[in-house]
């Protein structure tokens, strides 16, 4: 998996960036940051909601007991 990711980074994503303007790169980075921030909040919101449930009603796959 590591080799695949390195190949993508060096031979695909890097070269593709040359086709975008600086403004487009800034916009993409800003959009990714917003998406990433929302994603982490969703993750922890789900954990809190799961912990608020009685033990017998927790979602499958919960690691907390």
pLDDT in tens, 2-51: 898 888 888 888 899 999 999 999 999 999 999 998 888 888 989 999 99
| Domain span at 62 | 20-65
pLDDT for position 60: 60
DSSP secondary structure, 30-55, as one string: HHHHHHHHHHHHHHHHHHHHHHHS-G
- What is the reported pLDDT for 7? 87
Number of domains into which the chain is organized: 1
Contacts of 58 (CB under 8 A, 6+ apart): 50, 64
Q: With a cut of 70, say whether residue 63 has pLDDT above it.
A: no
Q: Would you say residue 15 lies in a domain? A: no
The continuous run of DSSP H or E covering 11 comes out as none
Task: Give domain status of residue 4, yes or no.
Answer: no
Residue 38 within a domain = yes
The SS3 of residue 21 is coil
pLDDT of the residue at 54: 84
pTM above 0.85, yes or no: no
Is the residue at 8 inside a domain? no
């Amino acid at each position: 998996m590591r080799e695949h990711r390195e190949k993508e980074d060096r031979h695909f994503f890097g070269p593709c960036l040359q086709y975008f303007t600086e403004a487009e790169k800034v916009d993409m980075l800003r959009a990714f940051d917003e998406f990433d921030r929302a994603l982490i909040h969703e993750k922890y919101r789900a954990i809190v909601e799961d912990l608020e449930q009685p033990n017998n009603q927790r979602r499958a796959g919960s690691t907390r007991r």
